[in-house]
Amino acid sequence: NKIEDDYVMGEALGKGKFGSVFLCRSKVTGVEFACKTLPKGEETVHKEVEIMQHLSGHPGVVTLHSVYEDAESFHLIMELCSGGRLIDEMTKEGRYSEHKSANIFKDLMLVIQYCHDMGVVHRDIKPENILLTASGKIKLADFGLAMRIANGQSLSGLAGSPAYVAPEVLTGDYGQKADIWSAGVLLHALLVGVLPFQGDSLDALFEAIKSMQLDFHSEKWQSVSKLARDLLERILTRDVAARITAEEVLSHPWMMFYTERTL
Ligand code: ADP
Ligand code: MG
Ligand code: MG
């Protein structure tokens, strides 16, 4: 079947580096989806599809419903996240309460932990790639840079978005812990409303990522709990071996104290 036979295309939902994402509706069921169209010749499409299928067992990962292929493109029919992107909510909200930050961060860590347990490094954790459902639940999207790695294997080569990139990604080999760093950059932005590492140029930004110390004495941190600062320090640690894992983040006292108990 051709995609036009099965779906009616709607408005654009977003534009990425390689493709665009459109709202679409199944002609048979009337259900709405998001369709990511990627031009052929992009070798990574197969990997993106394969990894999404591999990760389909978790509610925090955007579900891949089906894939269409035509002469020019691949079309990925995905679960629709009608709540939009976390980045847009963050821009509106400014800074989040610790309670709200912790609940978002817990859901993010649960899905990152799942990816890591499944042998996947996402490599592009940032709020542009975290989507929201109609009810406000987070969904991790965009597995275009994701890689499967065997136990103990490491990756090399610069990947990701400059402000979120881990220091070890800039200098050499890296693995799952690079995602933890990127999530830490996001946590910083949730808690205080600004990114931790900035620079007037890419070089200045990378220099900050490699060496700048966080200043918890500054004004913006005064209203943030000591527990939150402790967690962030354990995440934004340049010593990769000392940096905590997703599992350890989930059992950190800040998480325990500020997230909702579900029992
Ligand atoms: P890229 O690899 O080009 O960055 P993404 O997969 O991140 O592509 O998608 C680009 C944008 O399209 C997202 O930031 C988001 O705004 C929108 N988008 C992607 N997937 C969905 C989805 N399942 N539901 C709603 N919007 C989506
Ligand atoms: Mg993206
Ligand atoms: Mg991508």
Strands in 54-189 per DSSP E: 64-69, 73-79, 84-85, 120-121, 130-132, 138-140, 147-148
Q: How far is the CA of 250 from the centre of ligand 3 (A)?
A: 27
pTM of the entire predicted model: 0.95
Active site residues: 124
Let me know: does 101 contact 187? Beta carbons within 8 Å.
Answer: yes
- For ligand 1, atom 11, the nearest C-alpha belongs to 14
- Return d(Cα 72, Cα 121) in angstroms, integer: 29
- The model's pLDDT over 137-185, given as tens digits with 9 standing for 90+, comes to 999 999 999 999 988 888 888 787 999 999 999 998 999 999 999 999 9
Q: Of the ligands numbered here, which is closest to the C-alpha atom of 15?
A: 1
Buried b (16+ CB within 10 A) or exposed e, 27-55: eeeeeebbbbbbeeebeebebbbebbebb
Q: Which of 13, 66, 87, 125 to mutate to test the pocket of ligand 1 (most atoms within 8 A of CB)?
A: 13
Q: Of the ligands numbered here, which is closest to the C-alpha atom of 145?
A: 3
Which residues contact ligand 1 via a Cβ below 6 A?
Answer: 13-14, 16-19, 21, 34, 36, 62, 78-81, 85, 128-129, 131, 141-142, 144
Q: Of the ligands numbered here, which is closest to the C-alpha atom of 36?
A: 1
Residue 171 backbone dihedrals phi, psi, to 5 degrees: -115, -10
Residue 46 backbone dihedrals phi, psi, to 5 degrees: -60, -40
Q: How many residues does the chain have?
A: 263
Element (H, E) at 46: helix 44-54
Angle between helices 226-235 and 177-192 (to 10 degrees): 150
Tell me how far CA of residue 139 lies from CA of 59, 157, 178, 228, 239, in angstroms: 8, 26, 19, 23, 29
Grouping H, G, I as helix, E, B as strand and the rest as coil, residue 74 is strand
- Return d(Cα 62, Cα 58) in angstroms, integer: 9
- The model's pLDDT over 94-108, given as tens digits with 9 standing for 90+, comes to 999 999 999 999 999
Q: Which of 18, 22, 24, 131 to mutate to test the pocket of ligand 1 (most atoms within 8 A of CB)?
A: 131
- For ligand 1, atom 12, the nearest C-alpha belongs to 14
Let me know: does 166 contact 121? Beta carbons within 8 Å.
Answer: no
The per-residue pLDDT string of the chain (263 residues; one tens digit each, 9 = 90 and over) reads 899 999 999 999 998 777 799 999 999 999 999 999 998 876 789 999 999 999 998 999 999 999 999 999 999 999 999 999 999 999 999 999 999 999 999 999 999 999 999 999 999 999 999 999 999 999 999 999 999 998 888 888 878 799 999 999 999 899 999 999 999 999 999 999 999 999 999 999 999 999 999 999 999 999 999 999 999 999 999 999 999 999 999 999 999 999 976 54
- Return d(Cα 171, Cα 158) in angstroms, integer: 9
